[in-house]
Amino acid sequence: MADKMTAANRSELEKGLVSMFLRLSPEERLKANDNAVRGILELRNAYQMLVELNAHDNESVTREDENFVL
């Protein structure tokens, strides 16, 4: 298993990410930001779809239970 990150490890990781980002050209930075936004939107939309599907499934189960007759 992965060990918990210490403050020193987090700091090194952040420094590495910042230096990597600074090495990018302005166009590459914009593309990276666009890709991040696109990924966030895809995750949000997928989550909203799951919530709607679960609500629909729960609604149909409730209707079926109301119509159940012995």
- With 0.85 as the threshold, say if the pTM is over it: no
- d(CA 60, CA 52) in angstroms, rounded, equals 12
Q: Where are the domains of the chain?
A: 25-70
> What tokens appear for 26 in the block?
């302005």
SS3 25: coil
pLDDT reported for residue 60: 60
Q: Which residues, 6 or more positions from 13, have their beta carbon under 8 angstroms from its beta carbon?
A: 5
Residue 63: DSSP 8-state: H
How confident is the model over 27-42, as pLDDT tens digits?
Answer: 999 999 999 999 999 9
